[in-house]
Structure 1
Amino acid sequence: MAGAVSRTGTAPLDRLKVFLQVHGSTSRGINLWSGLRGMVKEGGVVSLWRGNGINVLKIAPESAIKFMAYEQVSTFISSLKEGGSLRVQERFIAGSLAGATAQTIIYPLEVLKTRLTLRKTGQYSGLADCARQILKKEGVRAFYRGYLPNTLGIIPYAGIDLAVYEVCVCTCNVCVREQADPGVLVLLGCGTTSSTCGQLASYPLALIRTRMQAQATAEGKPKLTMAGQFKYIISHEGVQGLYRGITPNFLKVIPAVSISYVVYEHMKKALGVVN
């Protein structure tokens, strides 16, 4: 519930990020406001939430697989040692493997999310229609287009995100609270810091992944591999092109994490969950 409300609340910024990643290079004058205005003009205010349905739908399996894998890998690494907590590099490995495992299983949903996010009014009647059209026109392989940069990107993102988060929480507990139960504000700060660090490290690969996922929708553009996309961006847009759309991406970090933790705490109370 926390993830669903959080993603829904920041969906317009997420769609704007994807829009800038894919179309920003062809529209040099585009920015945050003109991008939002363009999307509203094309499909109305409700169009700002295109792709949010499947984004919410994949939260449960993605989160469950990621955290289950993280716990399993952490337990396995701990069993190889003679005791003591995991070091930073060990948390990084566990987080990276957990993220890669989750993304491998739910990746077709990522492709569908990108296509639904970028769709024009009337292009698809829904999730099933989108999947059917992709399968008919592009084949099964289209559901794993961009998988390599996605997997390479999830390694630094998930690794840094989970490792920095746990290090921040442990540090705050020792230096500030000296207890095992951090407060909401501490978790909020740790979550924001870890997410930002992870995104900075993996953003270029995430941008290349999105462009590969959306290649079939970009008329007149060549179908490029990961290396081809990287060379094309560097030669035509410069290094800054690898970070196109990062502004709305960062703008949604704090509200996304804030909404997530607030809803999380209220849902715990409503459901009677006790730590």
Structure 2
Amino acid sequence: MSSDQPTWNRPKPGPKAMGASTTSPPLDPAVQAWFEDLFTQLDSNRDGRIDPNELAEGLHSLGYGHVSKKEMEEFLIKSDTSQSGDLDKGEFVRYMTNHERHLRLQFAKLDENQDGKLCIQEIIGAFKKMGIVITEDEAKMLRKRINYRDQSMEITYEEWRDFLLFHPSTELEELIQKWRHNTCMDFGEDIGVPDDFSDQDIISGMWWRHLMAGGVAGMVSRSCTAPLDRLKIFLQVHGGRKSLRIIDTLRYMVKEGGVTGLWRGNGINVIKIAPESALKFAAYDFIKRLIRNDEDRDLKLYERFLAGSLAGGVSQSVIYPLEVMKTRLALRKTNEINGISDCARQLFRIEGIRGFYRGYIPNLLGILPYAGIDLAVYETLKRHYLSEHYMDGTSFPAVSLLAFGTFSSCCGQVAAYPLALVRTKLQSQAGLNLNLPHEQTHAVGLFRYTVRTEGIKGLYRGIIPNFCKVAPAVSISYYVYERTREYLGVEMI
């Protein structure tokens, strides 16, 4: 038996608990006695009260590792009728008695055939009523979160109750949402596959809170890693021609523009987060609906990749002029360009609209290998971890998601980096009369020129600082995202 499994005997629900009626049945005396015994086990110092620390430590030791800190706080607020900051036995038993009664009623609503168990189809149906379409495989995975003691294909009331016993709400939609969550973190790249939102998220307005939390996290993480991003751009454009080392490039940037010069181009990089996220989300949602073709189903992995790639192409096409200006601003010398508006005027005066789309083709082509490999590696790692470890009802460890996201992002960057390098070199030519040979002014020619003069390693100039920024960008983004979503009231179970 796993050490995370609860250590006391739970009472079995009687026949009355599983009846078809949705009126409140009488509570089994054994259940009430169980709550009294549970209080005793949580009251570690035996003072007749449970404080927040005792609750947290007790739930962890008794096998309730899936109960989040936020849920514990809300549980205490709702059950502490005396507002003393802790619970006596009477408060605890009264609240748990009422909560358990509501859980039985909600279970009865889901148990369509009233056999006292939830099958896979009933789980799918419960999500469908909320506007969330899940596959049978996902329903089985969700079942394993609750039913981890045996290999049966069903969830009993006892298992349902134990999983949700300390969830602060008894509203059916909130209970079901505890099975699922979405994230919108910024991993430092603009071409990943967006997250899915349910119809319920859209109707409730939760989607824009997720996007806003992700946008704030992106602004902070990109600002913190901006020096590494500018260093990467310098090495991509000038590294081969001048044989620059990383330390030499960093010293030059500080000498030429001071410490603040390390953040050149960051302003526009932050500004473009909001329109790109909104465009990508809208395009992704529209393309998903086209792919489904009115079918009530979830997207398969390759369909998500296709929808995400097309959505990325749409958003990148619209905001690409900002990408070009970001590169030009990052490479500028002191007093060469006076801000974003001056950069836009110079580009338009010299090259017209064409100047704002330098490197557009390799940028679009780079979306496919990056998004495809990033998504495939991330989903593969997550599914493998779920199948090996995620069988005891505990929450998915945040550190695992961060590690998977970091590794999958790096894999995607390795595949797409040569195209990103060619794109950046072409962007750096925008608005400049360099009189370069024709070979160096278009994607295919510049790719051949780079390989011929620098070899394959020339296609990966600047990838080291690019890798160096991934881990801190993901970590900072996750931390800020968590704080922001808590402030906005975005529930992540």
TM over 0.5: yes
Instruction: State how 1:47-58 maps to structure 2 within 5 Å.
Output: 47-58=261-272
Residue in structure 2 matching 1:239, options 442, 448, 456: 456
Greater helix content:
1
1:45 paired with 2:259, answer yes
Query: Would you say the 8 A contact 1:3–1:59 is kept in 2?
Result: yes
Cα contact 1:91–1:163 (8 A) shared by 2: no
Structure 1 equivalent of residue 469 of structure 2: 252
Give 1:76 shift. 3.4
Fraction of identical pairs, as percent: 56
* Structure 2 equivalent of residue 140 of structure 1: 353
Q: CA deviation at 1:167?
A: 4.1
Matches within 5 A, 1:77-226: 77-79=291-293, 83=297, 85-178=298-391, 182-216=396-430, 217=432, 219=434, 221-222=436-437, 223-226=440-443
The CA deviation string for residues 128-158 of structure 1, in whole angstroms up to 9 with x for no partner, is: 0000011111211000111001101112212
Cα displacement (A) at 1:80 = 7.3
87 and 63 in structure 1: CA distance in 2 versus 1, 3 angstrom threshold: same
**2: CA distance, partners of 1:81 / 1:193:** 34
Paired with 1:252 and 1:132, the residues of 2 have a C-alpha distance of: 31
Q: Residue 18 of structure 1 contacts residue 210 of structure 1 at CA under 8 Å; is this kept in 2? A: yes
1: CA distance, partners of 2:395 / 2:480: 18
Tell me if the contact between 1:94 and 1:159 (Cα under 8 Å) persists in the aligned partners: no
**Structure 1 residues 67 and 177: CA distance shift in structure 2, 3 A:** farther
Structure 1 residue 166 displacement after superposition: 3.9
Q: Is the 8 A contact 1:54 1:109 kept in 2?
A: yes
**Deviation of the 1:12 alpha carbon:** 0.5
Look up the match of 1:25: 240
Secondary structure at 1:97 match in 2: helix
Structure 2 distance, partners of 1:218, 1:243, is: 26
Aligned AA (1:252): K
The aligned amino acid for 2:279 is I
Which of 44, 56, 67 in structure 1 is aligned with 2:281?
67
CA shift in 2, pair 1:121/1:70, >3 Å: same
Q: Distance in 1 between matches of 2:292 and 2:485?
A: 30
Deviation at 1:55, TM superposition (A): 0.3
Q: Counterpart of 1:18 in structure 2: which amino acid?
A: I
Distance 1:12 1:158, change over 3 A: same
Moved over 6 A (4+): none
AA in 2 matched with 1:68: A
Q: Which amino acid aligns with 2:417?
A: Y
Structure 2 unaligned regions, length at least 5: 1-215
After superposition, what is the alpha-carbon deviation per residue over 1:51-89, rounded to whole angstroms, capped at 9, x for unaligned?
Answer: 000000001111222233334333433447684x54432
d(CA) in 1 for partners of 2:442, 2:394: 47
Q: Deviations over 1:107-148 (max 9, x none)?
A: 000000000010000011110000001111121100011100
Contact 1:58 1:109 survives alignment (8 Å)? yes
Larger Rg: 2
Measure the CA separation in 1 of the matches of 2:435 and 2:472: 37
CA distance in 1, matches of 2:291, 2:394: 22
In structure 1, distance between residues paired with 2:405 and 2:427? 28
Q: 1:147-191 deviations in whole A, cap 9, x for unaligned?
A: 001101112212332343344444434432346963321221121
Number of positions where the alignment pairs a residue of Structure 1 with one of Structure 2:
273
CA distance in 2 between partners of 1:218 and 1:166 (Å): 46
Distance of aligned partners of 1:170 and 1:42 in 2 relative to their CA distance in 1, 3 Å threshold: same
Taking the aligned partners of 1:123 and 1:175, their CA distance within structure 2 comes to 56
Bigger relative contact order (CA 8 A; separation at least 6):
1
1:67 aligned partner, one-letter code: F
Q: Is the 8 A contact 1:203 1:243 kept in 2?
A: yes
**Structure 2: which amino acid aligns with 1:273?**
V
**Structure 2 CA distance for aligned equivalents of residues 261 and 114 of structure 1:** 26
Tell me: CA distance 1:81–1:165, structure 2 relative to 1, closer, same or farther (3 Å): farther
Partner amino acid for 1:6? S
Tell me the amino acid that sits aligned with residue 443 of structure 2. M
Tell me the secondary structure at the aligned position of residue 328 of structure 2: helix
Are 1:2 and 1:260, in contact at CA under 8 Å, matched by a contact in 2? yes
Q: In structure 2, what is the equivalent of residue 14 of structure 1?
A: 229
Distance 1:73 1:181 in 2: 31
Whole-angstrom distance in 2 between the partners of 1:169 and 1:70: 22
If the length of structure 1 is used for normalisation, what is the TM-score?
0.91
In 2 relative to 1, CA 159–67 (structure 1 residues): closer, same or farther, beyond 3 Å?
Answer: farther
- After superposition, the Cα gap between the structure-2 partners of 1:175 and 1:66, relative to the gap in structure 1 and judged at 3 Å, is farther
What CA RMSD, in Å, does the superposition of the two structures yield over aligned residues?
Answer: 2.1
How high is the TM-score relative to the length of structure 2? 0.52
Q: Is the 8 A contact 1:15 1:117 kept in 2?
A: yes
Separation (CA, whole Å) in 2 of partners of 1:162 and 1:74:
16
**What amino acid sits opposite 1:53 in the alignment?**
G
Distance 1:21 1:247 in 2: 11
